[in-house]
Structure 1
Amino acid sequence: MNNKHQPDPHSARILAALQQDGRLSVQDLANRIGLSTTPTWKRLKALEQAGVIQRYTAVVDRAQVGLATCVLAEVNLSRHVENVVEEFEAAVRDCPTIVECYSTTGQADYVLKVVTPDIAHYDAFLHQVIFKLPGVNDIRSAVVLREVKSHGPLPV
């Protein structure tokens, strides 16, 4: 790769192809990007070692596994002292029901993406987990009616 911010054209094609299908063999990947197998493998390993490719995963249809409800929860903390923030973020990382968490500017300190089987389970989750997280002062929830675009590939 040329630098940390802009992959060279072959590396960009590798990244684009793998974001569409992470199960491509090195041979299939090489064919798709127009390089031979050895240089493709070397570029792939370099992307992995540099941390550009962080991991390989499967995209699971949450409704098919009983997690039909998705809620975006805006959370504000009561205090912004270091230990409260660290405790809150550690608790969020340890909670599998919270699948994404973003520290944000604007109205909310954090935006959480929460998945549950239904709204009753989300209500229970609020009372049993979210309200008990360190420093939580205020929560606003928006129930997702439908996902228009999610898990989109990065435009490399």
Structure 2
Amino acid sequence: MMTWQLKLFSQLSTMQLYQLLKLRVDVFVVEQKCPYPELDGKDHLQDVYHLLGYQGDTLIACARLLPKGVSYPSVSIGRVAIAKGHRGGGLGHLLVQEALGACDQLWPKESIEIGAQEHLSKFYQQHGFIATSAMYLEDDIPHIDMKLEK
């Protein structure tokens, strides 16, 4: 059974912070073989929230919710990750639904932008996102900007 927590950086325990950073590094740096600056200075900014998805005491899903003007002119969702052993059963869709619901609570009626890995564009289209850019390389991985209009 999944439990969800939505926290500001200052509300994260040291264990939660460790688990969050480990999950993100495991997925984005190790698994995708992409050395990049995971610690980008945005995690601790004002009004940046971290959505944590737990199975028991184990963090298996996460996303970062950012207010307007931090990554995009609109509200944005980033650092969306699912632990490798927990993919393929719909958890990604559940995570995006939770993230969209949290954004609606935090920033009602605000459009949401994302920088999606290009191979996931159809996944995000299922949640109402539309492409707003051509493909571009970010850290040598094809990405595309997408937006969910409100």
**Same-fold call, TM cutoff 0.5:** no
User: Counting helix residues as a fraction of each chain, which structure ranks higher?
Assistant: 1
Task: Using CA pairs under 8 Å that are at least 6 residues apart, name the structure with larger relative contact order, 1 or 2.
Answer: 1
TM-score, reference length from structure 2? 0.29
TM-score, reference length from structure 1? 0.29
